[in-house]
Structure 1
Amino acid sequence: MKIAVVGGGSTYTPELVDGFARLGSMVSELVLIDPAADRLEIVGAFSARIFQHYGHPGKVTWTTDLDAGVTDADVAVIQLRVGGQAARIEDETFPLDCGCVGQETTGAGGLAKALRTVPVVLDVAARIRERARPGAWIIDFTNPVGIVTRALLDAGHKAVGLCNVAIGFQRRFAAMLGVPPASVVLDHVGLNHLTWERAAYVDGVDRLPGLLSTHLESLAADVDLAPSVLTTLGNVPSYYLSYFYAHDRHVAESRGAQTRGQRVAEIEATLLDLYRDPLLAEKPALLGERGGAYYSEAAVGLIASLHGSDPSAVHSVNIRNNGLLPFLPDNSVVEVSARAATDGPVALPVSPLAPELSGLVAHISAYEEIALEAALLGGRQRVYRALLAHPLIGQHDRADALTDKLIASGAQHLAWAR
């Protein structure tokens, strides 16, 4: 199997490479693709050393030529970041001027990222479809995953969106229960970065009520929320729900503080220095602070299942709704637990959502539909409509001001705004 990683010059890539190296002989070639040649050379050489460290027989190559890199690929992983960390830092700061949370996948920052990302991903995907092997899968890691995955599916691509939130909870719950992670099956449901863990089954028994009873303080701290939120909901929200349930606190804490993007930029600079060491052949501990914990495990597991290995494994994926949440249109994209085989993921049964969950899901899903239209067609009015529709904004004055700030901060990446 040939796997192409678009955005392979990321300092996060060695985490993925470490996972692919553990796929064994299933991977014959791993090609990293990135326009940043200097950075790619460093990451590529280090990635090759990781394969060698594991004694992996496959080859690791790297190229700045997208068309050459994806030719004959069986799987293409897209993990690109248009504008790099500089654009992320803008996403995390300009909304604060209007009293809104600054975050790269939620609210105005998330919309800014979607606007500059969707057109690029669709161009990449079109070239993958032309040159990869027939039936090749696109695995989308690129945020905002729900919007990007819907764009890919709407364009007819064979794509699945992947997030690490659920696998992180699975690992956390398994450690608390003292069981192997694979034995924990989550009732994970919602939209990307808007999900809840409603159950954690081990041998068919839901162990989540017990976890909420014995580990409430720890779980609440993990998701940055008051324990009473978890007990009231009776579930464990994604930590991204903290931006909704504790919005004003996040805004207050963010003003004048270092952004996550600024911290990641510092980590990246140090990681690149480490990767330059020709003796380094294992991922450094600092990589754990880069973010994206367990992404490699999630990617490896899903890719293996899509190619006929371990069809009983359960994955958290972004797929078409198709009736899973009956209050959403079928063409919406939802994030649920699923099993996967060569013909794609099949969702586990989804029971009805409580109204406090379904209401927020419906609201954000509608925003995502408008956001995708803005990303595809551009225009100030479409951007304004998306911001007005978002529950964290939803006021004319804020939406109007944020529209101008968003366009000004991202104009260099928006063809229609230049």
Structure 2
Amino acid sequence: MKLTVVGGGSTYTPELIDGFARLRDTLPMEELVLMDPATDRLELIGALARRIFARQGHTGTITTTTDLDTAVDGADAVLLQLRVGGQAAREQDETWPLDCGCVGQETTGAGGLAKALRTVPVVLDIADRVRRTNPTAWIIDFTNPVGIVTRALLKEGHKAVGLCNVAIGFQRKFAALLGVTPADVHLDHVGLNHLTWETGVRLGGPEGENVLPKLLTDHGDTIAADLHLPRTLLDRLAVVPSYYLRYYYAHDEVVRELRTKPSRAAEVAAMERQLLELYADPALDEKPELLSKRGGAYYSEAAVDLAAALLSGAGSPHQVVNTYNNGTLPFLPDDAVIEVQAAIGPTGPAPLSVPALDPLYAGLMANVTAYEDLALDAALRGGRDRVFRALLAHPLVGQYAYADTLTDQLIAHNQEHLAWA
């Protein structure tokens, strides 16, 4: 088995390598290719990856390359983890929307749209080259904004599945609170990427006992503190929203906070410098503790589980992924990309049935789905008016004056990445 990681020079990669090494029985591979145009980082991380494999006794080979066609040739699966424009572009995404009193964030709102416009054309070019070189390969997308990127891939007919670590993070946290193993916890997870709710927490599988009410009663304060939302809100909702819902449920509060502290991009950039220094130590042969603060917790375990299920039918039978709606949520178009539990196998994901949703959640999902449709149109065809329409549709923007100003700001800060600008 051969796997390729596009964006292999990311500081995330040692997390992925550690998972591949630990879970080699679930996902046995003979060859892993790390592909990245950043040669210096790529070689540094490639060397660390080989040391991690050696320490944990993995016999697979790890190669590095800057050539995409070479990297994907013969690959069974290609994992995408890209950041077009790097942390410098993220820094912009998180700052200029604040001038209008709108959330500055890299995956939602105006900043999220900027990231989508930069990313979709690049990912589609990569996917086209994968298909020409190796049409049978699965593409697993971890590149944000995952929902929009996955929708672009599927719309073009690629064998693609989107992956996010929010669900597996909740699974691990709830298992610890309940005193059970993560495999015992099945989430009734529903929504769009970075717009999800846990409407049930079941023990033993999809038909198991729903212990969410007890979880909220016994551990609501802990869960609320992790989400930076009030316990009273969780009690009133009787569900657990993802932490990204705070941008919607406490928008103005978040804007005030963001205006008074360094951006997350600045924090991550500083952390990346420290991580690269650690990775350069030839004695380091495991992922450093600092990496846990970088984000992407449990990404490797989710990726291994998904790749194993797609390639061999191994791994967990039900996993949370981003895929076509296809009637799962009747209030959304079939070609909307949703994030739900699905049965996973070599033919791809098949979403499990979802009970009727409260309009409180269905309405917001429908609104953001409409925005994502307009965002994808803007990413594929460009043009100021398409950007404006997407921003006007987004519930975190919504006012024409803000949408006008943010459109100009977005284009000004991203001209080098927008072929049409």
Shorter-chain TM band: over 0.9
Q: CA RMSD in A?
A: 0.9
CA distance in 2, matches of 1:312, 1:168: 16
1:65-95: per-residue Cα shift (whole Å, max 9, x none)?
1111111110000001000000000000010
Name the residue aligned to 2:324: 320
**1:87-118 deviation digits (Å, cap 9, x = unpaired):** 00000001000000000001000000000000
What does residue range 157-236 of structure 1 map to in structure 2 within 5 Å?
Answer: 157-203=158-204, 204-236=208-240
CA distance in 1 between partners of 2:269 and 2:119 (Å):
19
Kept after mapping to 1: 8 A contact 2:306/2:315: no
State which drifts further: 368-377 or 219-228. 219-228
Match of 1:16 in 2: 16
Do the aligned partners of 1:9 and 1:32 also contact (CA within 8 Å) in 2?
A: yes
* Alpha-carbon distance in structure 1 between the residues aligned to 2:136 and 2:238: 41
**Which residue does 2:6 correspond to in 1?**
6
Q: State the match for 2:137 in structure 1.
A: 136
Amino acid of the structure 2 residue aligned with 1:158: K
TM-score, normalization by structure 2 = 0.98
TM-score (normalised: structure 1): 0.98
Three-state SS of the structure 2 residue aligned to 1:101 is coil
1:54 match? 56
1:404 alignment counterpart: 408
Q: Indicate which of 264, 269, 273 corresponds to 1:265.
A: 269
**1:53 CA displacement:** 0.9
In structure 2, C-alpha distance between the alignment counterparts of 1:338 and 1:115, rounded to whole Å: 28
Which position in structure 1 is the counterpart of 2:72? 70
1:311 to partner: Cα distance: 5.7
Identity of aligned residues (%): 64
Asked if structure 2 preserves the Cα contact closer than 8 Å seen for 1:370 and 1:386, the reply is: yes
SS at match of 2:117: helix
Name the SS of the counterpart of 1:188 in structure 2. Answer: strand
Any conservation in 1 of the 2:320–2:339 contact (CA below 8 Å)?
A: yes
Per the alignment, do residues 311 and 264 of structure 1 end up closer, same or farther by CA in structure 2, a change over 3 Å counting? closer
Distance change >3 Å, CA 312–CA 36, structure 1 → 2: closer
The amino acid of 1:261's aligned partner reads A
Match of 1:378 in 2: 382
- Check conservation: 1:311, 1:339, Cα contact below 8 A: no
Instruction: State the partner residue of 2:360.
Output: 356
* 1:42 matched residue in structure 2: 44
Paired residue total: 416
8 Å CA contact 1:327, 1:362 repeated in 2: yes
Is the partner of 1:263 in helix, strand or coil? Answer: helix
Instruction: State yes or no: 1:149 paired with 2:150.
Output: yes
Distance, in Å, in 2 between the alignment partners of 1:38 and 1:341 is 37
> 1:135 deviation in Å?
2.1
Look up the match of 1:104. Answer: 106
AA aligned opposite 1:48: R
Partner Cα separation in structure 2 for residue 101 and residue 21 of structure 1: 38
Post-superposition offset of 1:223: 1.3
Structure 1: where are the runs of 5+ without partners? none
**Aligned partners of 1:57 and 1:107: how far apart in 2?**
44
Per-residue deviation, 1:257: 1.4
CA distance in 1, matches of 2:14, 2:319: 22
Between the aligned partners of 1:99 and 1:40, the Cα distance in structure 2 is 38
Match of 1:329 among 322, 330, 333: 333
The one-letter code sitting in structure 2 at the alignment partner of 1:205 is E
1:9 is paired with a residue whose SS is coil
C-alpha distance in structure 2 between counterparts of 1:412 and 1:135, whole Å: 33
- Aligned counterparts of 1:104 and 1:226: Cα–Cα separation in 2: 24
Deviations 1:214-258 (A, max 9, x none): 111111111121112111111000000000000001100111411
* Residue aligned with 1:215, SS: helix
How far off is 1:308 after superposition?
2.4
Instruction: Give the Å deviation of 1:312.
Output: 4.7
